[in-house]
Amino acid sequence: MSRFAQLILVIILTLYPFAIYLGIEYLSLGSILILMLIVAILRVLIGSAKKTIGTKLLALALALAVGISWLRDDPAGLLWYPVLCNLILFSVFFYSLKQPQTLVERLARLMEPDLPPEGVLYTRKVTKAWCLFFLLNGGLALATVINGNMKLWTIYNGLVSYVLMGIMMSCEWILRRRIQNKV
């Protein structure tokens, strides 16, 4: 699929909490569920050309959230999607720690194929940091579900969690630059 279609899908998924909030406020449950099921299907069809396990699991998580809401006839199941996403991301990063190359190392090797041993060690530490991030972020997402306040859920999962992820990425980038400059 085209890069443009992939970009649109990323934007839709990024805005998921706002779409759910507005959908619950202004649409019928059936309408929201159909729209989210379409998004889950598009995630599989338009997702990465490789159809990685992470892409499939995230699509399955959305379909699961839709299914729970449909079975319960309650939109609350849709609130679990950010929790499931963090759990899946944690699992993918954690699983990569058991592999010869971590996910972060594989990404780093796209820019620097001949990564030195200290770079490999660094990427392993960054992978562990991301595991911790996804555990904490998922825990906070879970707390917003349990709290039951839709505005709090929307603000945390649609804004705060992305800001925290941006801070994490920025701090890692700054730290990596400092380490590289020392070498």
pLDDT for the residue numbered 101: 94
Count of domains observed in the chain = 1
Q: Which of 178, 175, 15, 166 has its CA nearest to residue 23?
A: 15
pLDDT for the residue numbered 65: 92
Range of the domain at 64: 3-182
pLDDT for the residue numbered 47: 58
- How would DSSP label each residue in 63-99? HHHHHHHHHHTSGGGGGGHHHHHHHHHHHHHHHHHTS
Q: What's this model's pTM, rounded to 2 decimal places?
A: 0.86
Question: Across the 183 residues of the chain, what is the mean pLDDT of every consecutive 10-residue run?
Answer: 72 84 86 86 68 79 91 92 95 95 92 88 96 98 96 95 96 87 72
H helix intervals, 15-155: 16-26, 29-46, 53-72, 81-97, 103-111, 117-147, 150-155
pLDDT for the residue numbered 156: 97
Neighbours of 49 (CB within 10 A): 9
The answer to whether the beta carbons of residues 64 and 84 sit under 8 Å apart is yes
pLDDT for the residue numbered 1: 54
